[in-house]
Each structure stands twice: as C-alpha cells, then as structure tokens.
Structure 1
C-alpha cells in the first residue's frame, strides 16, 4: 500500500499485484480518513465504486441531489465540474470498466447511465449488500481484489458481449488517444455511419464523437497534471489551439487548465492506476476485412 499526500489530505492507496482476468478492467483500493469536497473529473470509463467500510461517502450532484454508498457512474460522469465527493473513514475498491465490457458486467447498458450515477443497489439489488459484507470480511487488499475480480468475471461470462464492430471502433478511439477520424470508423468496420452510431450509443453509453472528445480530454488532462505546458498539450493532443483546449477543459471540469493540473482526482492516478487508460488490445471484428487488414 502507498500513501498519497495532497495538501492536508492523506490517502492510502492499494493496487492489485496481478492484472484482472478481464481485458478492460483495472482496480484500485482507497482508504481516506477525511475526504473533503473532491471534484470528480470525467473519465472515459464506467466507474464502479464498491464501498465496504463502516461509513459511506456522499456524492453531491447537480440540483442538490445526493448519493451515498456504492455506485456506478457512466463515461464522462462529472462533466461540468459540479460533482463533489466527501466523507470520513471511507474504504472502497474502485473499478474502471471499459465501456466495451460494462454492459455485460453491470447487466444493463451504459446508455442508461448517460454520464450520470446510479446506486449499485438499483442495478444489483441484494447482491450489492452481499458484496459490501464480503469485502468487509476479507482482511487484505489483495483478497478484496481477487474477490472483486471473480465477481466481475462471473457476471461478464453470463452475458452477451457487445458487437465486435462496436468494440473495434472503441479501441480505435482509445488507441488514437482521441485523434481517430470519427467519419472513417464506419468504413473501417464495413457498416453504414447510421448503424455504427446507433449501436455504439446503445451499447457503450455515448456517441462516437463524444467518446473521441472525452478520450482526448483525458489524455490532455493527465499531461497537464504531469507538468506540461498548455500550449504544447494543445498542439500534441489535437486541439486547434490553446484556446480550444481551455474551452474543452472548462466544459468538462468547470475549471481552467491550470487548476485542473492540481486536481487530486487526477494526481493520484500515478499511484492508483499505473499504465493508465482502458486496458485490452483491439481485436478485428468479424466480417470487417478492411479493418482487419489495417490492424
């Protein structure tokens, strides 16, 4: 376990010693004694938070809405910068799910989340309570990771996967760090633009153009946290200019690039999510000869 210090806050952070048996899954464990109004920064994954401690975190959303305890958040959750999480003595396993496998693991399409948050009880019913109890009974972080991984694998294997063409398009976007040409994705998989857009949105929870923008923002935001200048990040990340980067960062976070560079939600990634991103290599979809040849 490592310790993350940011300002006066101290977080204990644990990482699995072994990768998940599922491509598209990464996990981290957090123990935070005093979490004060942490801004949630959008991420291009479905985030599953499994709490097991004596206390529950509080998620303050727009229009005064609040959520407590274990929850699932869709890709881009926190867009606009109006979501904060707080609490005391919080313990949780946080899972980042590639949207490609999220539907199977959750038992519901990420499209139903639409960048929002849903209490885990609403999706999994009594199983959510059982998981909390089981995680609390396990004495080690590695044991909790193993328990969580077995749960995710069991749920994934019992459900149908997304269309391989949709998975291919997603992996193209991620591999290109948001620089993929959206108009060319349909041609790569041999589908019409309308068909790909419809299936992509229904199965992954966001349309391709929004996916490209979110992946590009995530890459740029982490480079800002690493200390790179906004002008260089804008040029390398595919923005028209520094003003374009500024507008995009403001739209996603409600903060300037300079402020985002100091966000603990992003800064902790070096400890919690080494080798960031959505794990899993793209596989050529069935029947997509042109895409397979380009892989």
Structure 2
C-alpha cells in the first residue's frame, strides 16, 4: 500500500550512517514507484545499479557522483537520469552524500521527459543536458528545503505539474506493459500484442519509444526483479526462487542474473544492503577505524552538523506532514 506521507529512517550500522526518507503518494501511483531522499555516508562508496524496470531521476545536492562502469556521462555533478537499464552500471559516490530522487514507472518517465524513452535507454544522462534550465532551478529549490520531507514534496509537485500537461501513454502499450508486469514477465507477448490490436513490428516500435526497451527485454527485467525481491525476502533456496519467478530452472536464472547484473544470484546477495542498494566493491568499504565517518577529520568541517543529525542508533520511523504535496 503506497505511503500517504513520507517516512524517514535514521540508520547507524556497519552499512553507514545516513538518513533515508521515502514516499509513495497514492495520487501519483500510476506514474511513480517512489520518491526517496538520502543524506549521510555509506561504508562502501561504489554502488551497482541494477535493471529494475523503472527510470531513476536523481538530483545530487552534494559532492559530485561519478559513473565508473556504464554508458553515458561519467561526471554527474548535478544529478542524472538512468534510462531503462538492461545491464548493471556502477556509480561512485562521495564520502558524504545528499541526494533526492524519483523512481519513475515508464508511463511517468514518458510524461515527465516528454520525449521517446528510447533516446535514454541503457545510459545515464546528466540533468542539465536532459532538462536544460529547469535542472538548476529544481536543484536550488531542493537545496533550500528545510527537511527531507519538504524536499520530497518539492519534487512531487514538479512531477505532478509535468504529468498534468503531458500526453498520455498509448492505451495499447499501457495494456501490454501492464500484462507483462502483472504476470511477473511470464505473459506471452505475442498474445498481448494481438489483444492490443498491434502488429509485431508496430508493438516493438511503440513499446521501445514509450517504455524504453523491447517487450521481450522488459519481460526479462521484470522477471529478474521478481526473483531479486524473492531473494531479498529470504526465499529458502535458489531452485525455489527460479521456479517461483518463472525461469525454466536454476541454471537459466543464474545465466540471466549474470547477464543483467554481472553476478550470480548468491554472489549478488552478499552485496545487498537491507534497503535494496547493491554495493559494487566490498573491498572499497571505508576503513573500520572510522576514516570515512563524517564525524572524523576526513569528513571535513562541512559534515560536522550532518554527523550530529544522523548519529542515531537503530531505525526510527517518523511521519511527515499531512498536506497533499
């Protein structure tokens, strides 16, 4: 059930010390999976970004982020959009980060970007190249926000405005995409296309423009995400996950994981944070002595206040204000 109000958690553990605020407003559910905000430091600076069937628009309010593996811009000072990924990419975060983002469903990305999603497939695009003068204006408004919840509401209002004046998804493409999603990637694509009244070639062209990939590849991504969700939830065995996610067998699932994530299922699990973030290089974690802790000298004076803000043990859920956005 989508959260009516933002929920903020404070984390202090071996994974790092950071604030995480998430929000999935029901009014935007057809277009948005979730809005999220993160501020603090992580024990590992490199993140493996996995295919997940969504497009992520990230506004970077802190030090620059770099892409070290993947296609597109490598220096991402003001943030970026990750298009529909079919292979993992690797980002390198600064020691202390502050970002706000929206994970867009294909329908939402098509509305917000107002361009064919095929133009941004499998790549990272800098926000200033993508949005022009809108990017620095939105970044400035987020910088001035007085809380993580307020920051999320600023981005939500912006998304709402873009969606309101954008052309909608082609109903036939929406039908096919929904069929793939609801079946966990198992639906017969040819049958969905026929029911939608589209020829094979017409379906492929429209789907790539409005979803950002082909129907077959989208089904593979959705199936991969379903299997990863089952693994994160503590499924009993890889064989059980393979069958539940719709793979022929475990070797088939293993091959798909290696192609989409670059890792086997078992190896991937060892790199996952509880929040679902995947670290790319465990050897790149901060020194256990606290060298990367923003409360230490390495963090610099600008991080002292941040350290105090996030230095809470455990996770404490807080509700945001009740106003719509």
TM tier relative to shorter chain? 0.7 to 0.9
CA distance in 2, matches of 1:94, 1:225: 22
User: What is the CA deviation profile of residues 205-252 of structure 1, one whole-angstrom value per residue up to 9, with x for unaligned ones?
Assistant: 100000000000011012112221210000111111100000000111
Choose from 41, 52, 60 the match for 1:43.
Answer: 52
Which of 199, 210, 213 lines up with 1:203 in the alignment?
210
What's the Cα RMSD here?
Answer: 2.2
Checking the alignment, whether the CA contact within 8 Å between 2:73 and 2:125 is kept in structure 1 is no
Q: What TM-score comes out, normalization by structure 1 length?
A: 0.83
Q: 1:174 and 1:64 mapped to 2: Cα distance?
A: 27
Distance in 1 separating the partners of 2:72 and 2:213: 25
The C-alpha deviation readout for 1:40-76, integer Å capped at 9, x for no partner, is 12211011111223x2222222489623231001112
In structure 1, C-alpha distance between the alignment counterparts of 2:31 and 2:169, rounded to whole Å = 13
1:120 paired residue number:
127
The alpha carbon displacement at 1:6 in A equals 6.6
d(CA) in 1 for partners of 2:223, 2:103: 17
Deviation at 1:98, TM superposition (A): 0.7
Q: Name the CA shift for 1:260/1:86 in 2 (closer, same or farther; >3 Å).
A: same
Q: State how far apart, in whole Å, the 1-side matches of 2:219 and 2:164 are.
A: 28
Pick one of 246, 255, 264 that aligns with 2:263. 255
Measure the CA separation in 1 of the matches of 2:208 and 2:15. Answer: 41
Aligned residues: 267
8 Å CA contact retained: 1:47, 1:94: yes
Q: 2:90 is matched with which residue: 83, 98, 101?
A: 83
TM-score (norm. length: structure 2): 0.76
Unaligned runs of 5+ in 1: 272-295
**Equivalent of 2:190 in 183, 187, 190:** 183
Is 1:31 paired with 2:42?
no
- In the alignment, is residue 169 of structure 1 matched against residue 190 of structure 2? no
Cα distance per residue 1:242-264 (max 9 Å; x no partner): 00000000111111111212333
Find the aligned partners of 1:62 and 1:152 in 2 and give their Cα distance: 27
Higher Rg: 2
Greater CA drift, 18-27 or 254-263: 18-27
Flag structure 2 segments of 5+ consecutive residues without an equivalent. 1-7, 278-314, 316-325
- Do the aligned partners of 2:30 and 2:107 also contact (CA within 8 Å) in 1? no
Q: Which is further off, 68-77 or 250-259?
A: 68-77
Alignment of 1:48-197 (within 5 A): 48-53=57-62, 55-62=63-70, 66-69=74-77, 70-76=79-85, 79=87, 81-197=88-204
Q: Aligned ranges for residues 209-288 of structure 1 at < 5 Å? A: 209-228=216-235, 229-264=237-272, 267-269=274-276
Contact kept? 1:31, 1:90, Cα under 8 Å: yes
Q: Which moved more, 1:243-252 or 1:83-92?
A: 83-92
Residues 1:51 and 1:217: Cα distance change in structure 2 (over 3 Å): same
Q: Is the 8 A contact 1:76 1:115 kept in 2?
A: yes
2: CA distance, partners of 1:164 / 1:141: 35
Gap change, CA 1:183 and 1:225, over 3 Å in 2 = same
